[in-house]
Amino acid sequence: MALVKEAIKEAIKLIGYSFPKAEKIVIKPNMCYYWDYSTGQTTDPNFVAALIEILREEISPDIEISIIESDASAMKCKYAFKYLGYEKLAEEYNVNLINLSEVESEQVKVKVKDENFEFLLPKIIKNSDLRINVPKMKYMAFTKISCALKNIFGCNPYPKKFKYHRRLNETIVALNKIMPFELCILDGIIVYGSMTSKLGLVMASEDAVAMDAAAATIMGVNPKSVGHIVLAEREGLGSASFMTRGASLDYFKDKFPKRKLSDRAIEFGYKLVCALGLDKRLV
């Protein structure tokens, strides 16, 4: 963990970020499903532990830290917190574990592409002094990639998230608009692309759009082809033009286990099967 802690500190230093005075902090890891961190699909609790240590050293040992996640169509926080090791982490580090689907929220209106959307904003996020997004980087069928912007989709308290999949880009951008996170720190130590791989990447940014654009580039995806990155930039959430400091982006681009043509063919085939209504034949 010492190495990870040093890497996080280094990444924060490289972007010239200084922690503000804060009493209440929320951390949003990626806990999308019961997939162990070693698969590269969920944020490593040890990564979050290292971040908690840094926050207590840099801000104050007395800050109140809450790790947040919400129930999803297939994942229930009460089980995911246990399975993914966050319950243990919360006990060990004396932090709160919050299921956003079970806490107080308020209805908030937001405009995206001149269209009105309404979402629930959890008060714990609204009332925090500092919000830190700790995403993973991975491919996703509906949005091409998932990274910082998509991770905030998990802050929507409504559990049946599949209902938003038809308007996923707009939903992601709307949620990022109502819940702006001040700092993004990517856990790219282990990643999942065409397979699981140790990438050893820690990336920090105050701009989720820039982080997503950089992550997409590493994954071999043109950021301009990712709907929610383009839309987020257009809506003023950040800039897809980025500049990197530290290790070269090409180093990670070469190392990232990129999706093969066969993976894309299977994904296309599956979408076609669904479009033709043949998916009901699949048990």
Partner 1 sequence: MEKINLGIVGLGFIGKIHLKNCLKIKSVKVTAVADVSKKALKFAQELGVKQLFTDYHKLLDQPNINAVVVSLPTHLHASCAIEAAEKGKHIFLEKPLARNPKEGEKIISAARKNDVKLMVGYPFRFHPNFENLKKKIESGALGEIQVAHAVNIGAGPFFHRAEKVIPRPVPEWWFNKELSGGGALLDLGSHMINLTRWYFGEIRNIKAYLGYRFNFDFEDHAICIANFKSGTTAIINVGWFSQKTAVGIELFGTMGHLQSTYKSPSKAITAVQLILGKTPKFFIPYLKEISHFIDTIKEDADPMPSGNDALNDLKVIAKAYRSQVSL
- Give the type of residue at 208: A
Task: Indicate whether 280 belongs to the interface with partner 1 (CB under 8 A).
Answer: yes
Q: Output 72 or 125, the one with its CB closest to partner 1.
A: 72
Task: Indicate whether 278 belongs to the interface with partner 1 (CB under 8 A).
Answer: yes
Count of positions on this chain that bind partner 1 (CB under 8 A): 28
Contact segment (CB under 8 A) with partner 1 among 4-12, 61-69, 176-184, 267-275 equals: 267-275
Residue ranges in 17-36 that form contacts with partner 1 under rule CB under 8 A = 33-36
Task: Indicate whether 260 belongs to the interface with partner 1 (CB under 8 A).
Answer: no
248, two tokens: 């070269």
Q: Output 2 or 276, the one with its CB closest to partner 1.
A: 276
Taking CB under 8 A as the criterion, the residue among 1, 123, 162, 222 binding partner 1 is 162
Residues 6+ apart with CB under 8 A from 243: none
| Per-residue interface string for the shown chain with partner 1, residues 212-251, x marking contact by CB under 8 A | ----------------------------------------
Q: Output 224 or 271, the one with its CB closest to partner 1.
A: 271
Task: Indicate whether 166 belongs to the interface with partner 1 (CB under 8 A).
Answer: no
Contact segment (CB under 8 A) with partner 1 among 51-59, 107-115, 239-247, 271-279 equals: 271-279
Least CB distance to partner 1 at residue 70 (A) = 14
| Per-residue interface string for the shown chain with partner 1, residues 111-150, x marking contact by CB under 8 A | ----------------------------------------
Site for partner 1, rule CB under 8 A: 33-36, 39, 72-76, 79, 82-83, 85, 87-88, 162, 266, 269-270, 273-274, 278-283
